[in-house]
Amino acid sequence: MTFARSLHPLAHKLKQCLFCKVPFTQFAVLIQRRGMFGVNSYPVDPAGLTSSCSSSGSSSKTLAPTSTSITIIGDDTDLNWAVCQALAKKIGWFPVSTAKILTGMHKAGSVQEVIGKQGREALAQAEAGVLKGMKDQFRVCVATVGDGAAADPNLYDYMYGSIIIWMDEVDKRRPKPPSAARAVYHGRSEVRAALSVASGGFSDKSMTLEEKATKATGQLIKALNQLLKEHEYLPAKKRLYVEYGCRGDWPELKPKEWNPVLENLQRKPVSEA
């Protein structure tokens, strides 16, 4: 059995046309013709893309179009990381923890220790730098710090090259109050894993972190399969978004020559002397 065949079926969906060599400009034109530059427009037309993949040459710059990554956000650092590891193991990708990167950089034992030394704002800025640096990495699952950099809506211009999953623990007995971070997670995530937990009471049987991760991963596999069934070109479009430089035009991708800086300059009114 080859390694490719031993992967989870979801990994194959995330890597559709991975081994096809497609000229960069041809792939961009193909995506545009399929209507993928429209808001939330991810048409399902596998025959069109695969036929172009198989018939195209490799004389110009090539692109393996559809491999992407996954970013897990939420308010629980440990849960984000546990789910990240479990999901990465399922689909054969590489797990990455921004919390571990940051604690390693600061030679600290925990994120809370880093916050105690540097402050939460400094931690969020450092994590934002890590996430920006990983924007062009593929086939990785990234776990973020709870209510860290992912609570900043401006960072998502760099994060939209990946599929964004919100890990949300739901306790009906103790519902979480509204917060700015939760509003960002709700508005920016593409998949929400609502993990039901119960706290308090004589019959309380709290799940371990490993049990939570196992339960959440099962939900996520189903949710991701459904997402890719409905939007088969989503990984390809995210790859193109990264190749174009994460310019902040997600999900309505502009043509390759579009420049957001020049567009903003053109919008500014001319001041009169």
Which value, in Å, is the radius of gyration of the alpha carbons in the chain? Answer: 20
Domain locations along the chain: 17-65+233-264, 70-229
Identify whether the C-beta of residue 188 lies closer than 8 Å to the C-beta of residue 152. no
Give dist(CA 240, CA 86) in Å, integer.
Answer: 27
**Nearest CA to 169 among 141, 139, 198?**
198
CA distances from 129 to 66, 98, 120, 246 (A): 25, 10, 14, 14
Specify the pLDDT at position 197: 81
Looking at residues 130-134, what average pLDDT do you find?
95
Looking at residues 52-77, what average pLDDT do you find?
58
Specify the pLDDT at position 194: 93
φ, ψ (nearest 5 deg) of residue 125: -65, -40
Lowest mean pLDDT segment, chosen from 65-79, 134-148, 196-210? 196-210
**CATH superfamily of the 70-229 domain:** P-loop containing nucleotide triphosphate hydrolases (3.40.50.300)
Specify the pLDDT at position 271: 52
3-state secondary structure of 216: helix
Lowest mean pLDDT segment, chosen from 60-74, 169-183, 204-218? 60-74
Taking the chain, what is the end-to-end CA distance rounded to the nearest angstrom? 75
pTM: 0.76
pLDDT in tens, 16-26: 433 333 444 44
pLDDT in tens, 71-91: 999 999 999 999 999 999 999
Looking at residues 210-214, what average pLDDT do you find?
95
Specify the pLDDT at position 128: 98
Specify the pLDDT at position 269: 56
Looking at residues 33-58, what average pLDDT do you find?
33
Residue 228 has pLDDT above 60, yes or no: yes
Q: Which two tokens stand for residue 143?
A: 């776990």
Looking at residues 92-115, what average pLDDT do you find?
95
Specify the pLDDT at position 192: 94
